[in-house]
Structure 1
Amino acid sequence: MRLGDERESGNIEDRRGGGGFGGGGRFPIGIAGGGLGTIALVLVALFFGVDPSVILSGGGGGQPDAPVARQQGAPPDAAEDGQRRFVAQVLATTEDVWTDVFRRAGNTYEPPNLVLFSGATQSGCGTAQTATGPFYCPLDQKVYLDLGFFREMEQRLGAPGDFARAYVIAHEIGHHVQNQIGVLRRVEGERRGLDEAGSNGLQVRVELQADCFAGIWANRTQRMRQVLEQGDVEEGLNAAAAVGDDRLQRRSRGVVVPESFTHGSSAQRVSWFRRGLEAGDPRACDTFANRP
């Protein structure tokens, strides 16, 4: 990606360098009860997405926790500082894209904060840990990211490249967009009374829509700034495929259990990311009206 001297977002909370916690959590991160309770922890650690406990407990509408100051500790190394700048620049492009999309629809986009941490930190949804992977918490409207996940993507999931990392950020911001337009609350309302398979199916649609929104971000950022380089789109599609439920389950268990999917298969994730990328229009991302 050609980000060059693109502006950096000011909505970064850098909590790296410490191992403590701040604030008070409401919902734990890890194996959630109810419809998502059968997911193995090893899979949850590899997924990125909206915190499953929030979907089960009601997404959106909560009051944000008070900001937590960065924990004191060893300063980040030069490589991590470069990653921080990259994250801040990508976050800025998401702000520009969604501000424009909302404005054209007669609404106002409220950008989220993105929290960088190392090891663990406290979120409005409970304890954020490195093993959990990146996630969005609707209750405090923040994205949580340990930069070490990018190394895991490259070394363990086979998804290297700066555009693959940007896709992760754009996917999480997609969940914030869903929160603002009421999708997460709608899902929680529809989930009540469903069995495990039905609940998981709704979660899959949430995740695929966030993939589609990530594609919209890529489309519109390219139109605004011409940031894509040769191979970038392939990196994004590869990243989407790498975090498909079927591929992750095959890696961790050796078997695939489709009824336990909560994020979608590799083919589904690639398809919806590509749909957003080609259309550049949120109306193309109605995963609830279309079969995933």
Structure 2
Amino acid sequence: MLTINNKKFIKIQFLYLTKNNPMETYTPETLDQLYEIINANRSHGWSSFLTFFRGQIFDWPIKPNVTRNPSLSDEQILEIEKEAFSEFTSYSEGLRILEHFEKDSTKHAQDWHNLFQAQHLGLYTRLTDWTQDDRSSMFFAVDDQKEEFLEANGVIWIYKCPYYPEDDLLINFNETDETYHFFDQNPFELKKAYVIKHYAQFSDDVEDYAGEIRRFRQDGSFIISTSKDISKSIEELEYVSPHLVKIFIKPSLKREIIKHLGEDIRDYIYYSSNENNSEQTEKIGTLTANTNQKYFWKK
């Protein structure tokens, strides 16, 4: 159990999403207290889990972007998702987007890759963004460019994702012997909401491909929702919720985090192109925005 000596520190009561597995919820007052919580929940070499973080400027449920339009039924979401993803796949073939290195030897490697790329490049997908970099999660908990939530609590989620075989919720594409068989499975037909760790592709000209540098700098991972539970928030999944820690980020702590991260963090996190592909990146952003509007918000 985490012990905090500072009297101002408030630990909220456990939120019971399951009868026997409480989700710990905290409200730190200072940056030092926040780091103490993070470090107490961070995985180590002997841990049976890997730690992933997610920052939000407001306490929204953790849901994929394909569910943003509340008027759509699950059946409509799944059908629209197919159409939008197919359109993205068709126009991305003519753009400077890195192809997958196993696309010719596995059944669905390119589908997985296109799904990852679509998420990074702005298309609505069934993925939610996570990271193994706590600073990135802090940034996304305070990055309120429209200043809509300056006086509202943000959230940093910690997911202590189990990866031992008896309770395996992790697909790590960097562990080739253990997980490459997932490249032969359709990512839209999984039975569980897995955490997906990116595989590493480092071509000499990787900076010339849209979205690649942003992906590496954010140390991005995903949780992929299943078709069955497409509209259910991640924290409501009974096999995920016991492994979650929820940290409320008060407005005063948001301001402390902003000062701590510095002025250059936003440009560093969002960097997605160099001069060789800036036009391509801008074009892709326009295309994905139009696709989102066309399919997910059509009248």
Q: Normalising to structure 2: TM-score of the pair? A: 0.30
Q: With CA pairs under 8 Å and 6+ residues apart, which has the higher RCO, 1 or 2? A: 2
Q: Normalising to structure 1: TM-score of the pair? A: 0.31
Higher share in strand: 2
Higher share in helix: 1
